[in-house]
Amino acid sequence: MSHISQIRRSSPDDETVEAIVRGRPVDARFDAWVAFARLVRTAAVDLPGPGPSDELAVILRGDIEITQERDPMDVGRIASVAAKVATLGAAKVVLGATLAAAGVTGAGAAGVLPGPAGDAVRSAIETVTPVHFDDRDGDAGSADHQDGFGDEVSDDATGESDGDDGVDGHTISEEAPGSEHRPDQAGSPDDGPGQPDSTGLDRANETPAAPNAPETPDPGAEGGGGDGSDGGPPGSVPSTIPSPPGRTESHERP
């Protein structure tokens, strides 16, 4: 019988295929497949292995630190935290000439944003203005806090100041960063952004950047600071970024 006819009549079943793949003995009818498997294995290693690339050579010399075992759960946790920080950062950190949007920056200056976001806001404010915030070491609950931190509760929270229990923003603790730059009368909810007839310049004048705000708004500005009802950015708002020495022209909002 020709080998060809053997092949035609002897297609291996799953069990035989498995045996051939694993190198176990099978019936002689399947010799062609056995030979195929053997040839594949032989041909694959018939040539010597290639030399290493430059990058691989560095690793083979032991010049690169080998990644140690990491708990797979850590990867998920790290990714989750990174995602949260990214969303905070994208929305809050880019300040530049938008200091007039006092809702966020005021909150950041007042220290009521969560730690990482608040730090980012304060850092950005320090970058564009001469304002300096006292360093906060670590997050809440860290051993680096000053003694007695948290012992004092604001009058606003206790209701002593306004008769309403709970913090409603009417009173800001003197312990919150930026207190030395805060206006005598803290903003109230009624003075929030977007109130009728208020402009961004009005709000700018209430922020630490006030010394750098222009005297008059940009003639092209529409509606001043905007009422924020559409959730979008305010209209054309004059820049409050101080001009570098030697430049006198007004800055357009980036």
Partner 1 sequence: MAQVDRFGGEFDGVLVAARSGEPWALERIFTTLSPVVAGYLRMQGSHEPDDLTSEVFVAVLRRVGSFRGDEAGFRSWVFTIAHRRLIDERRRLVRQAGVGPMPAGYDAPAPDDAEADVLRSLARERVRELCDRLVPDQRDVLLLRLLGAMTIEEVATAMGRSVGAVKALQRRGFRAVGRILEREGVPL
**By the criterion CB under 8 A, which residues form the site for partner 1?**
3-4, 7-8, 11-12, 14, 17, 20-23, 32-33, 35-37, 39-53, 55-56, 59-62, 64-70
Give the contacts of 7 (CB within 8 A, at least 6 positions apart): 32
Rg (CA), the chain: 35
Q: Which residue's CB is nearer to partner 1, number 49 or number 254? A: 49
Do 26 and 34 form a contact (C-beta atoms < 8 A)? yes
Minimum Å gap between C-beta 49 and partner 1 is: 3
Q: Shortest Cβ distance from residue 83 to partner 1 (Å)? A: 23
Q: State the nearest-atom distance from the C-beta of 14 to partner 1, in Å.
A: 6
User: Would you say 39 or 140 has its CB closer to partner 1?
Assistant: 39
In the complex with partner 1, the residue whose CB is nearer, 33 or 133, is: 33
Q: List, in sequence order, every beta strand (DSSP E) within the chain.
A: none
- CA-closest candidate to residue 180, choices 131, 236, 249, 233: 131
CB of 54 to partner 1, least distance (A): 9
Nearer to partner 1, 4 or 143 (CB): 4
CA quadruple 117, 122, 127, 133: dihedral, nearest 10: -150
Instruction: Answer yes or no: are the C-beta atoms of 203 and 102 closer than 8 Å.
Output: yes
